[in-house]
């Protein structure tokens, strides 16, 4: 059954010229792009996007980072799209958790600067897609 997930290429990924690489891996996996936009995130949107982390010690740094430059937001569609993109991304810590062959494992060094976001459940995907692509 087809589903949709929200992917973000975070400011570090855009800055480093990795947008094409992220899109390429999504397409090679067999997933489709349903919507795509380069956007600078407003603080209020960033707060809502990462609301689950509002009491974490890294929340302030996370908001600073995600609003520090443009991101590329992508609605990705396909069979098992949510889990499939999380597989492509790799674990949150690019060195300790993400393995080589994943985006974070291949290109990341620090947990904060881990290149991409992907929705982590059907509920998150629905909430995040409404926030980023209300007209989709
Ligand atoms: P994301 O939401 O961005 O897809 O990442 P994730 O599910 O793999 O990880 P999550 O636990 O949701 O954390 C969200 C983002 O916050 C930053 N973070 N920094 N300094 C730290 O200890 C720390 N922990 C998390 C990362 O950018 C992470 O992707
Ligand atoms: Mg997350």
Residue 99: the pLDDT is: 98
- 127: nearest Cα among 64, 23, 75, 49: 49
Question: Which residues in the chain come in under a pLDDT of 70?
Answer: none
CA of 64 from ligand 1 middle (Å) equals: 13
> Could you give the strand order of the β-sheet that contains 116-118, starting from the edge strand earlier in sequence?
32-39, 71-79, 2-9, 116-118
Residue 35: the pLDDT is: 98
- Which of 86, 111, 121 has most ligand 1 atoms within 8 Å of CB, for mutation? 111
117 among known catalytic residues: yes
- 5: nearest Cα among 61, 72, 107, 85: 85
pLDDT digit string, tens, across residues 117-130: 999 999 999 999 99
Residue 1: the pLDDT is: 84
Q: Does 58 show up as a binding residue in the annotation?
A: yes
State the complex-level ipTM.
0.95
Residue 131, both tokens: 């926030």
User: What would the CATH number be for the domain defined by 2-132?
Assistant: 3.30.70.141
Catalytic entry in 103, 117, 118, 128: 117
DSSP state, 113?
Answer: T
**Is the Cβ–Cβ distance between 24 and 133 less than 8 Å?**
no
């Amino acid at each position: 059954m087809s589903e949709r997930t929200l992917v973000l290429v975070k400011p570090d990924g855009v800055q480093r010229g990795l947008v094409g690489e992220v899109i390429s891996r999504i397409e090679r996996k067999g997933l489709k792009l349903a919507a795509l936009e380069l956007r600078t995130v407003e603080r209020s949107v960033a707060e809502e996007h990462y609301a689950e982390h509002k009491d974490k010690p890294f929340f302030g740094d996370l908001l600073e980072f995600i609003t520090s430059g443009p991101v590329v937001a992508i609605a990705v569609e396909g069979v098992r799209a949510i889990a499939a993109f999380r597989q492509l991304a790799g674990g949150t810590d690019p060195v300790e958790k993400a393995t080589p062959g994943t985006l974070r494992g291949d290109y990341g060094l620090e947990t904060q600067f881990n290149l991409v976001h992907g929705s982590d459940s059907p509920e998150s995907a629905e909430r995040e897609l409404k926030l980023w692509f209300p007209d989709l």
